[in-house]
């Protein structure tokens, strides 16, 4: 995963990591310290879509995701498991 320098957690107040749920890998972006800026979320979504990755993100406590049909079905049933 190639992350630009400006996306360091201490620079964007967000943490990006790679996780797995029921055999499906996904990228997760979590707010850390302040509300996520639009530039950060935009980069994350563009990156995930460009590489075809499942993606999960939280903004002000709201959980969101995008991905394959299988991943979306899992998340639709079990989103609290990813916390």
What contacts 5, CB < 8 A, 6 or more positions away? 11
- 27 contacts 16 by C-beta, under 8 angstroms: yes
> How do residues 24-60 score in pLDDT, each as one tens digit?
999 999 999 899 999 999 999 999 999 999 999 998 8
pTM of structure:
0.87
Strand order across the 14-21 sheet: 14-21, 24-31, 54-59, 62-66
pLDDT at 10: 86
Per-residue pLDDT of 52-83, as tens digits, reads: 999 999 988 889 999 999 999 999 886 555 65
Domain ranges of the chain: 5-82
Report DSSP state, residue 23.
T
CA angle 76, 30, 63 (to 5 degrees): 25
């Amino acid at each position: 995963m190639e992350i630009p320098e400006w996306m360091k957690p201490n620079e964007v107040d967000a943490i990006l990591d790679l996780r797995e749920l029921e055999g499906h890998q996904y990228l997760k972006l979590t707010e850390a310290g302040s509300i996520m800026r639009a530039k950060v979320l935009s980069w994350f979504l563009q990156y995930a879509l460009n590489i075809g990755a499942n993606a999960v993100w939280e903004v002000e406590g709201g959980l969101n995701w995008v991905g394959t049909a299988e991943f979306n079905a899992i998340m639709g049933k079990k989103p609290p498991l990813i916390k």
